A = this chain, B = another copy of it.
Amino acid sequence: MTGFDHGPLAAAPLDDEEAAALARLLHAIADRTRVAILSAVLHAPGGELNGRQIQDLLGLRQPTASHHLRKLVRAGILDREQRGPYAYYSVEPDAFARLRAIFSEG
């Protein structure tokens, strides 16, 4: 729900609120567990994993996995699709492009 687009950092000086918003997006990935989740989902066959698979692959407790997945989804980095009893997570197609755009030059 929070799929913001951030302009290039190099384009114009950021005001306080813009800096905070950008920091929140980056903060969503700036965690070893969430980086590991992102990598696992990215390289999973089919590009998706369900919650249980993520827990098992990374050795996480269920509430811990749920907590991190929630953050990634809210930041617009992961997509969540409920299929039957499973919640499948995949990388939001535009996520990396949005992140690259932030660090694009000129």
Complex Cα gap A105–B92 (Å): 13
The contact of A103 among B13, B19, B20, B96, by CB within 8 Å, is B96
How many copies of this chain are found per oligomer?
Answer: 2
The answer to whether B9 and A32 touch across the interface, beta carbons within 8 angstroms, is no
Interface of A is mostly: helix
Q: Give chain A interface residues in 1-45, CB to chain B under 8 Å.
A: 9-10, 12-14, 16, 19-20, 22-23, 26-27, 29-36, 38-40, 42-43
The answer to whether A10 and B105 touch across the interface, beta carbons within 8 angstroms, is no
A binding-site residues for B, Cβ under 8 Å: 9-10, 12-14, 16, 19-20, 22-23, 26-27, 29-36, 38-40, 42-43, 96-97, 99-100, 103-105
